[in-house]
Amino acid sequence: MATDAAVKTSNAGKLYLVASPIGNLQDISLRALEVLRQVDLVACEDTRHSLKLLNHYEISKPTLSLHDHNERQRTEGLLEKLNGGKNIAILSDAGTPLISDPGYIFVRAAVAAGIPVEAIPGPCALVQALVLGGLPVSPFTFMGFLPPKSAARRRHFESLKEVGHTLVFYESCHRIQKFLQEAFDTLGDRPVVLAREMTKKFEEIFRGPLSRAIQPDCLRSWKGEFVVLIGAAG
């Protein structure tokens, strides 16, 4: 168990960061379920979404929303609860909290306040894609979501031109084809992996050159969730 000189020995509760499935509800650890059963409160990115998971495992807990738009306001109240001895879990809609998801502001404040923080490991889409992709995994650079506007995205690609290892991106299905075209225009014809709907019924993995990935018939469907890996220039 992690120790930290700043951690209080008082009766403060614990903050748990609980990884949840990225598609298949069975991909949750026994320890994650145990923690969710034991905590006093579950702070969820989307309470309705997380209730599906909690109900599936017959876990009945008070929930509270914690998303990008209210995390700053919520943090103080949640710290008070932790200081008062309550145990709190953070649960994302999918995968590991803080990874392109809310939680960083709250965790930073909890650490600064000396509250014990424990992460319960589990699914994370970027790791799943790296493991499946067949491109070198070490080192890699995780970029998360690039900005939605084309010009800003192209600037990011330009700045990544000289990076000599695997780049990992999250992208929405609405922008994925534009994203690939812009990557091809700026980075050239590199190896790419499109990891679509991982762990779900329609999981599909494309491995090949960017020049093929920009063709509309490269995948069976362009719907759903995507992780994109782009390899170093040959």
Please report, as ranges, the residues that interact with ligand SAM according to CB under 6 A: 22-23, 92, 94-96, 99-101, 124-126, 170-172, 195, 197-200, 225-227
Q: How far is the CB of 210 from ligand SAM (least distance, A)?
A: 18
- When the beta carbons of 172 and 221 are compared against ligand SAM, the nearer one is 172
Pair 18, 32: CB distance under 8 Å: yes
94 CB-contact burial (10 Å; exposed 0-12 / middle 13-18 / buried 19+): buried
Cβ neighbours of residue 205 closer than 8 Å, sequence gap 6 or more? 132, 133, 193, 194, 195, 196, 198
Considering beta carbons, is residue 7 or 218 the nearer one to ligand SAM?
218
- What's the closest the beta carbon of residue 180 comes to ligand SAM, in angstroms? 14
Nearer to ligand SAM, 110 or 146 (CB): 146
Residue (of 61, 65, 62, 77) closest to 110 by Cα position = 77
Nearer Cβ to ligand SAM (40/142): 142
Report which of 146, 149, 99 is spatially closest to residue 121, judged by C-alpha positions. Answer: 99
Residue 111 CB, shortest distance to ligand SAM, in Å, is: 19
DSSP helix/strand/coil, 171 = strand
Point out which residues pair with 171 in neighbouring strands.
226
Please report how close the Cβ of residue 153 comes to ligand SAM at its closest, in angstroms. Answer: 15
Question: For ligand SAM, which is the closer residue by CB, 12 or 197?
Answer: 197
Q: How far is CA 123 from CA 9, 28, 113, 229, in A?
A: 31, 8, 28, 17
Q: Is the dihedral of CA 205, 208, 209, 213 positive or negative?
A: negative
Residue nearest to ligand SAM (CB): 95
C-beta of 157: minimal distance to ligand SAM in Å? 17
